[in-house]
Amino acid sequence: MAQEPQEYIQQKVNPILENLVTQLLLERPEQLAPFMIKWLSQNSKTPAAAALTEGVNVLSELKLEMEKLQEEVRELEAQVEAKRGDKTGPLTAGSEAVDALQSMEESEDDEEVEDVVPPPALTSRGHRASVSAEAYGQWNPEKAFVAPVYEKSDEQKTRLANVLKESFLFSGLESPDIKIVIDAMQEKIVEKDTRLINQGEDGDCLYVVEEGQMNCYIRRQDGAEDMVKECTSGDAFGELALLYNCPRAASVQAAERSVLWELGRESFNNIVKKAAVAHRDQLEEFLLKVPLLKGMDAYERSSLCDALQPTSFAQGDVIVQQGDIGDVFYILQDGSATVSKVYVAGTPAKEVLKLGPGDYFGELALLKGEPRAASVIALTECKCYTLSRRTFNRLLGPLEEILRRNATKYD
């Protein structure tokens, strides 16, 4: 009998993903796909990868053998039909054999689909949390979730809210979800040199640092440890075990007395992860409606989703000031804004155009390396997505000609 899906994931898939994610976090390559392909090819002889490869090879061999048998049956059918002429139909026994082979193949395909659950997708962790959906089915039914509530003073809630604003992991949550997360967190004081997490152990929670410093270590083959990261105020750690349902990828020890906030697995999966998945789906749907980005393929659009940062402006805020040095590109998600320009020093600014959802601005300073060509002021409360200069050049570089052509709208 084939392995149960959950057992297959834990024993075969997770060890490979754990090592791959660790290398991604250590090296943070600009191009994820080539790095991952190269790493997998170089590490394909590990026990877990070898087992996985062996399983794929067995399936391939079975399918090839099935195809050969089908071809032999067809040849036999043709020979017998040629001898019988047109008086009789196709060979019954041959047809039954073909039907049996097709049934076996369909049965095998069905079993393959049921038994092999795709591993969680990996995305860049530069600015946004990686998101992986929990696998649910008969072996792992989804349960109704009620978030725990741990009593806190108003002062503690305010402190925690300020910390979460600085954490990339929680930056995409809406206010109601932030409130639920705050209620579900517990304060934890860790004294200096305390080993809070050990590499290889099962993980059932993550931590966010409010004060102090926690150092992350990865164990080498010779048993020695290398420090790979310092976690300070606003940083989160321990999330990989929750995202990928795998053992701890590193050990974490307190460099000094630290104040942490702990969030359990169930709360993380049902609040943070689900909200992040929903937010990403909404963002991809929005980007499909932006005329400028219609020429991007699915991979490019996905990369853009990982890089965009949300920001908000109140009515009357100056989003972009003419003459300032610009290093940010904006896409207006919600609200309206006006673009105005001073053509002669000392004269009033003239409105050039109005902007609405799906419009973009701020690209001229990035394309030409010049100061902002116009000012942009929020007419209503505005929600925007932003790209830094470096990310703009990497992701939207192929659109430079379109951007330059559209630049006449400011004239």
DSSP string, 17-82: HHHHHHHHHHH--S-HHHHHHHHHHHTTTSHHHHHHHHHHHHHHHHHHHHHHHHHHHHHHHHHHHH
Is 363 part of any known ligand binding site? yes
Residue of 65, 20, 64, 80 lying closest to 46 (CA atoms): 20
Distances 97 to 80, 89, 110, 362 between C-alpha atoms, Å:
14, 15, 20, 68
Distances 263 to 66, 108, 209, 238, 381 between C-alpha atoms, Å:
51, 42, 12, 10, 33
pLDDT digits (tens, 9 = 90+) for 187-227: 999 999 999 999 999 989 999 999 999 999 999 889 899 99
Is 112 part of any known ligand binding site? no
Is 61 part of any known ligand binding site? no
CB distance 172 to 279 below 8 Å? yes
What whole-number distance in Å separates Cα of residue 374 and Cα of residue 98? 72
DSSP label at residue 237: E
As to burial, measured by CB atoms within 10 angstroms (0-12 exposed, 13-18 middle, 19+ buried), residue 326 is buried
CB distance 115 to 1 below 8 Å? no
Q: Is 0.85 surpassed by the pTM of this model?
A: no
What residue has token string 């490979």? 16
Q: Tens digit of pLDDT per residue, the chain (411 long)?
A: 445 666 777 777 777 887 788 777 777 787 778 788 877 877 765 554 454 445 445 555 666 777 777 777 777 777 777 766 554 444 444 444 444 444 444 444 444 433 333 444 433 333 333 344 455 455 555 567 788 899 999 999 999 988 888 776 786 677 888 898 999 999 999 999 999 999 999 989 999 999 999 999 999 889 899 998 899 988 889 988 887 788 999 999 999 999 999 999 888 888 887 777 777 788 888 888 888 787 777 777 777 877 788 889 999 999 999 999 888 899 999 999 999 999 888 888 899 999 999 998 988 888 777 888 899 999 999 999 998 887 777 777 777 776 776 666 665
Backbone dihedral region for residue 47 (phi beyond 0: left; psi -120 to 50: alpha; all else: beta): alpha
Q: Which fold has domain 154-272?
A: Jelly Rolls (2.60.120)
Q: Which fold has domain 290-410?
A: Jelly Rolls (2.60.120)
Strands laid side by side in the 328-334 sheet: 309-313, 382-388, 328-334, 360-361
What whole-number distance in Å separates Cα of residue 318 and Cα of residue 174? 24
CATH 2.60.120.10 range(s) for the chain read: 154-272, 290-410
Is 239 part of any known ligand binding site? yes
